[in-house]
Structure 1
């Protein structure tokens, strides 16, 4: 039986039934490492030009800072990041990168080691979408390393893909 959408808990539970990848978007902004974790990340928005997108809550305090970066590193998180993903998304911004291996590009994009996919991006468009904004990023550089399996967010928990 269908339920009315008015119940936010029912809506979130239903949305959680759709497995999706997890991405860390990170850059050095004003000398500080900044990171945002998104489970709403979507690849393949466009091939020409190369575009990807994600949604961010309008109440985010991290996104307005990260949006100022010249380039943003997008790391599609792998199974090896399962334990550190909650740390990256923590409210304690001072410890988010503690113990993590990263690579920083000349333009300030931060990429996490052992990620199946790296992308160096810039903000192309921002569109309002209810209590979120849809952010479209242009991909400038990328790398794939499929020796590392992706991390999946499903039913409000991290999961691994069965091979």
Structure 2
């Protein structure tokens, strides 16, 4: 077994070990990221869209993605009236949330409420685009938990 096969399997097993339930292709993803993460989100969003995911994002993020040709539904932030992103999360339509936190630890911020609601609804909530990339790569593998076998780590023993 070569490294090309081993690394994706190891990544997949690592994601599964964290307890993240990988969303099925064709589900819906809510993305709300800090401004500094928006440029990096473009490629991720495009790849999720190609896999058939329906994308939702808050105002500025949705506008940016739509301007890049990535079909994204705009959803209101919590303070912008209803229905808003919490209503969308509660609807059961969302299978994955990508929410990169802004600086500060104020529980009244939207990010805290989003992550809390994700936990309540048992929806995976990723707070890092690196983790979102890893989850995307695992979804691309098209595996499920039944595919987990014994991982050959001998390629790392040099």
* TM-score, L = length of structure 1: 0.30
- Between Structure 1 and Structure 2, which shows a larger proportion of helix residues? 2
Larger radius of gyration: 2
- Between Structure 1 and Structure 2, which shows a larger proportion of strand residues? 1
